[in-house]
Amino acid sequence: MNTDVAPVRIPPCSAQAVELGMGDELVIIDPEGQQVSDVVAFGHPDDAEYLSSGRSLDYAARLWLTAGDILYSNRSRPMLTIMEDTCGRHDFTLTPCSKETFEIIYGESEGRPGCEGNLAAALAPYDISVDRIPIAFNVFMHVSIDTTTGSFRVLPPLSKAGDFVRLRAEMPLVVAISACSAGQSNNFRFKPIDYQIVRNSV
């Protein structure tokens, strides 16, 4: 990891968008441990191409992706390669929580935007509307499945302070990254997420 690049902090319960050129690397870091980051990606400038969990899982023939796996687009093209992964457990089946998710799952009424709203706000300058936020690559999210019934539970992340995933952009992208707002996912401690970008594209 290129340590010349200072990490950027995403404050708790918020999100940021970054542009990556082909070959650029994005490192997503859990600075305190047990925090989740929802990551979505769109082609840039052709944002009709987007991160597809359905394609990525199908090609890996595995629910849980890690170093060496590729995150594909809806058009079956590689978007991001997982170059390094010090945690090893992430989710790629669930959509980012929204105000409605908090109402349905947690009975909340205060209308927090959730990662979906935060990612949409970060993507608003790119004219990507909230309806187009797909299933995210939920970095560090720990979903445990009972294969007899298919029931699952969202458990505290396995990530420890300093754990990271390093992703390489395989095409020009806009990527939005959140610091998770959902108690069940981050063990009810709403923490920041850090990221670094290593610019290899020219």
**Best CA proximity match to 82, nearest among 25, 7, 4:** 25
Q: Which is nearer to a copy of itself, 81 or 93 (CB)?
A: 93
Asked whether the beta carbons of 51 and 192 are under 8 A apart, the reply is no
Q: Which residue in 31, 81, 83, 93 binds a copy of itself (CB under 8 A)?
A: 93
Choices 10-18, 20-28, 126-134, 170-178; region in contact with a copy of itself by CB under 8 A: 126-134
Q: How far is the CB of 14 from a copy of itself (least distance, A)?
A: 21
| Cβ-based neighbours of 21, under 8 Å, separated by 6 or more | 169, 172, 199, 200, 201, 202
151: contact with a copy of itself by CB under 8 A: yes
Q: State which amino acid sits at residue 77.
A: R
If the CB atoms of residues 7 and 88 are measured against a copy of itself, the closer one turns out to be 88
Closest CA to 72 of 46, 89, 52: 52
106, 153, 162, 188: which one contacts a copy of itself (CB under 8 A)?
153
In whole angstroms, the minimum distance from the beta carbon of 75 to a copy of itself comes to 7
Q: Of 16, 37, 53, 181, which lies in the binding site for a copy of itself, with binding defined by CB under 8 A?
A: 53
Distance of CA 93 to the CA centre of its chain: 11
Helix (H) / strand (E) containing 143: strand 142-145
Give 124's Cβ-side CA count (13 Å radius): 7
| Residue ranges in 23-52 that form contacts with a copy of itself under rule CB under 8 A | 48-50, 52
Is 201 an interacting residue with respect to a copy of itself (CB under 8 A)? no
- Degrees, nearest 5: CA angle 95-115-48: 60
Please give the residue ranges that form the binding site for a copy of itself (CB under 8 A).
48-50, 52-55, 57-59, 61-64, 74-76, 93-95, 98, 100-101, 104-105, 129, 131, 133-135, 144-147, 149-153
